[in-house]
A and B are shown apart, each in its own frame.
Chain A
Amino acid sequence: MPTTARPLVDANDVVVPDGYEVEAVMVGLSLPTDVTVADDGTVFVSEGGSSWPTRPYMPARVIALHPNGEVEAITMNVHAGPRGITWYNGELYMAFKGGYHMQLAKYNLETGKLTILIDKVPSGGWHEPGGPIFGPDGLMYFGHGSVSQQGVSLPAGFTVDLAKHPLAHDVPGQDITLTGNNVWSRDPRKPYAYLTLTGPFKPFGTRSEKGEVIKGELWCNSAVWRCKPDGTNVELLAWGIRNPFGMAINEQGELYVSDNDFEEKGERAVALDPDRIWHIKNASQPFGSVTTPDWYGFPDIYGDGLPVNHEKHLPLKGKAAELFIQDPPPWAGPAAFLEQPHSCMCRMDFSRSDFFGHRGELFVTEWGTLAPLNSPREEDLDHGFRVIRVDVKEGTSELFMHNRIMGPASAHGGGGIERPVSCRFSPDGKSLYVLDFGVAHISEGSMFGFAHTGVLWKITKKEMSHG
């Protein structure tokens, strides 16, 4: 390949179970975020793009690969990047991130008409939209992660997000009372090394007071909602989910979301927090009947249910976290599945096919660790970089796709996978598409993502021979 960051792409370096074969379908994708497949077999891949001055410009677009092999790039002239895409009833539904609000939209390929369905979810920070996806009930499910990395807006996010959205902050889904704990940090808005105090659910540089009540909102973040396909009758199902990037609904209509662990660095550091998959139990309640959203713990509870200031989770690097919420709501855990810290579980899909196998199991992409940037622990350096299948009832997992040498291909010079970010089954149930974000180099102080290094892989169950 001409891309020096990823000079080789070779399916022979990728391991899948016996009876399956893997091939590279598209190579050269830039910052890809999601994949979906239309009923006719057209494959859509979203590219996140970049309009921030801290990076070279990249177009936000969707690439369509038609069954006849033709490829087209769909540009929508939006100032935000498509993150989640899904094909439903002949239209492409998308989540856009890039402003103070996350937007949900649908796009008609025949007319080229883009319709914004929802433009109210508070965004502009670190974490990502989840979904949209559609359940067997015909409803649209979507989510959005927290603005803050660690429960409070801090300078670590300021280089890209808060500089553009200095008033962005987390919003709770229920009324909460604050402990009054604030966090000291440097103030990157000032030319010298000034310090400032910031409280939770506040813009950067705004302190909170003990006993202060923050009103819960329908349009909060770290949350999951559902609504009609036209964006009306919105219902808040859950909040307190740090980054519900992956969302999947099984054939029984049960909703599961992936969630990424706290980072072990900075002014509110949290150690050994497992990645997790939550069962969103409220999604099984009749539409319109959920009056109180469930709370899954962010910003005060780890994936394992312990409070963030528990001695078991004291950080080796950074300042230890303190609690933010006084008398918190009941915790909606435990998690359906816990994974190694910093595996970075991303998008996922349930197998609905006896032909492909493992019907009812959840296939989960793992983007891979950001250590040593966000963890000082050597054991975190190789977590992720694979696809697993999860039995959500038992809370167990098995490897499904990985390199011959574990870890990203760029770490050992192979041509296999780098960072799986999304996966989706084809409607005919024969194949699983796995979207590989491409190369991201991590150091103790920075992360560099490389455009034009993304790959779409396809895993197909081999046909049985009857001759």
Chain B
Amino acid sequence: MDKPALKQPILIELDAECRQEHLDKVEAWFKNVQLTQASFRQLLEDTVDKTRSLT
């Protein structure tokens, strides 16, 4: 983090390298969310088929 110029705000991790790191982390998180949701959906579909076979 750099020393500030007078009356200039300090930017906290807003440089290009940090921004890319943040975006990469969020992308990984979104992929994890997608995987979790897809797994749940598959589980639900499998359960529905089993329920139908019992009726």
Contacts and interface: CB of A to CB of B under 8 A. Distances in A.
Given A57-B29, A451-B22, A23 B7 contact: yes
Given A56-B26, A191-B44, A71 B9 contact: no
B10 A26 contact: yes
A71 B1 contact: yes
B29 A26 contact: no
Contacts of A73: 1
A27 B4 contact: no
Interface string A67-78: 011111100000
Contacts of A69: 3-4, 10
Given A69-B3, A71-B1, A27 B11 contact: yes
Interface residues of B, number: 19
Contact of A70 (B3, B9, B11, B32): B3
B29 to A, nearest CB: 4
B3 A2 contact: no
A3 interface: yes
B12 A28 contact: yes
A2 B10 CA distance: 14
B45 interface: no
Interface in A190-222: 191
A57 B9 CA distance: 26
Interface residues of A, number: 28
A71 B10 contact: yes
A221 to B, nearest CB: 31
Among B3, B44, B47, find the residue whose CB has the most chain A CB atoms closer than 10 A: B3
Nearest to A24: B9
Contacts of B9: 9, 23-27, 455
Contact of B12 (A23, A70, A71, A191): A71
What are the nearest 6 A-B pairs in CB distance? A28-B12, A24-B9, A71-B1, A56-B29, A69-B3, A28-B14
Given A27-B10, A30-B12, A57-B29, 12 more contacts: A3-B14, A24-B9, A26-B12, A27-B9, A27-B14, A28-B14, A56-B26, A57-B25, A65-B10, A73-B1, A451-B22, A452-B14
Interface of A: 1-3, 9, 23-30, 53, 55-57, 63, 65, 68-73, 191, 451-452, 455
10 contacts: A2-B14, A23-B7, A27-B11, A27-B12, A56-B26, A69-B3, A71-B1, A72-B1, A191-B47, A452-B12
